[in-house]
Structure 1
Amino acid sequence: MKFHRLILLTVALTLAGGSAIYADSIAQKVKIMFNKQEMADGGALIDGKAYVGVRSLGDVVQGMVAWDDDGKSVTIYKPNVHMFVMSGSKPFGSVPKGKSTSFQVFAQIDNLQTDISGFKVTVSDPYGDETWLDGRTSTDSDFPTDKDNFWFTSAEKSYEFKSSGKYTLRFWMQPADNSPMQVVSEKTILAK
């Protein structure tokens, strides 16, 4: 009797192990690189084709991802957002380490193919600590009504570039469906 149980257990474990190996060979993990940056979620190789999550793809290309549950479709909106920073009347891209600098962010936005309910501008230090600089919501009186082509000038802010390294300015947009804010443009300031 014990012998029959041992055989049944051996067969069951063999089948379970074989199924796991078979399933692993159907969908293999794939490392996906974009501009020398590895995507966090990676992808899967299925039947010789690489697949990647849409949200991850949207993050990497800095587009807004929208899901239409009724139509079972995903759309990625990628507006053109051009930013530059000015201290007084001079643009800059690098600053001395440890110096507080007052500056404004100028952004020109076009080719926005969807409605938004808000946007913001942030700066992150080399360690990832993020600071809100300015933004607007659709309830603000100066929220842009022409989504296809508008300009935004942030309030002048003083910011201390405490450490050496890259500081990242980010322009975020929130789709009108109130999904979370998503990064649509980045600019780097180097502190040295």
Structure 2
Amino acid sequence: MKTKAKRIVILSALIFTLGSVTVFGESLWGSFEGFSKARVFINDSEVNIPEGDVPAFIVNGRTVLPLRLLAESLQATVSWDNTEQTAKIYKPNIHMFVSLDVDKEYTIKKPFGKVARGETRNFVVSTQVDTLKMNATGFKITVEDPKGELAAEAVEVPLEKASESFWYTWPFKVSFNQAGNYTVKFSLLVDGSYTVVSKKTIVSE
């Protein structure tokens, strides 16, 4: 499915109403600049707002949330044009596969999503990217353990020329010593910072 770039004129926050977002408002969580704070959940996970940052708050029955936090929660990138006072959100179409092998024609062989705890496994992460409209200058693939720490060395790849679509495969070797979810993340480098735009879970049990 093709994604569309959304051009939204804002200063630093987005006023939105989404069916998949749960908001608890009123004055339960305190106030900000005279407005009631709100908690925001996306797919049952609370949006984590760093201490000292602008929180989610309610104006005329609408919830206001810093745009970058919302975009990152939706695994999208956001860029800000200060001259035009315009923000652009991009959600690239990315498919990521975890398998034991992949051939030269990019045929995925023996995909998996679960391993036995204590097993050390060699596997391949394959990523298919298309509709890449933003000016990305690189990408990174990481594998994190259930505690959020790197389970293998991260792979960082520069993008020397603009391309809307490409395939990339890379081998990993991971010891699944902990029980829980290991997460494979694909991040794009845009405007000097990485944003996670795709995730894949490997369950260790």
Please give the TM-score of this superposition, normalised by the length of structure 2: 0.74
Match of 1:114 in 2: 134
* Alignment deviations for residues 130-173 of structure 1 (CA, whole Å, 9 cap, x no partner): 2444231135xxxxx4622211111x221101101001110000
Which shows bigger deviation, 165-174 or 87-96? 87-96
The structure carrying a bigger helix percent of its residues is 1
Q: Distance in 2 between matches of 1:174 and 1:128?
A: 20
Match of 1:174 in 2: 189
Q: Distance in 2 between matches of 1:55 and 1:114?
A: 15
- Report the CA distance between 1:24 and its aligned residue: 5.5
Give 1:137's aligned amino acid: P
Match of 1:148 in 2: 164
Which shows bigger deviation, 180-189 or 40-49? 40-49
Match of 2:99 in 1: 86
Give 2:135's aligned amino acid: D
Match of 1:37 in 2: 45
Percent pairwise identity: 33
- Report the CA distance between 1:90 and its aligned residue: 1.1
Structure 2: where are the runs of 5+ without partners?
Answer: 1-30, 50-54, 102-108
Q: Does 1:58 align with 2:71?
A: yes
* Alignment deviations for residues 70-105 of structure 1 (CA, whole Å, 9 cap, x no partner): 111111111011101111331110111011100110
Q: Distance in 2 between matches of 1:32 and 1:181?
A: 23
Which of residues 26, 35, 39 is equivalent to 1:27? Answer: 35
Give 1:91's aligned amino acid: P
Q: Distance in 2 between matches of 1:49 and 1:85?
A: 40
Written as runs of structure 1 = structure 2, the 5 A alignment for 1:64-83 is 64-83=77-96
- Report the CA distance between 1:59 and its aligned residue: 1.1
Alignment size in residue pairs: 162
Secondary structure in structure 2 of the residue aligned to 1:116: coil
Please give the TM-score of this superposition, normalised by the length of structure 1: 0.79
Runs of 4+ in 1 over 4 A off after TM superposition: none
CA contact (8 A) 1:120 1:134 kept: yes
Distance 1:160 1:24, change over 3 A: closer
- Give the root-mean-square deviation of aligned CA atoms: 1.7
Q: Distance in 2 between matches of 1:147 and 1:30?
A: 40
- Report the CA distance between 1:25 and its aligned residue: 8.4
Secondary structure in structure 1 of the residue aligned to 2:137: strand
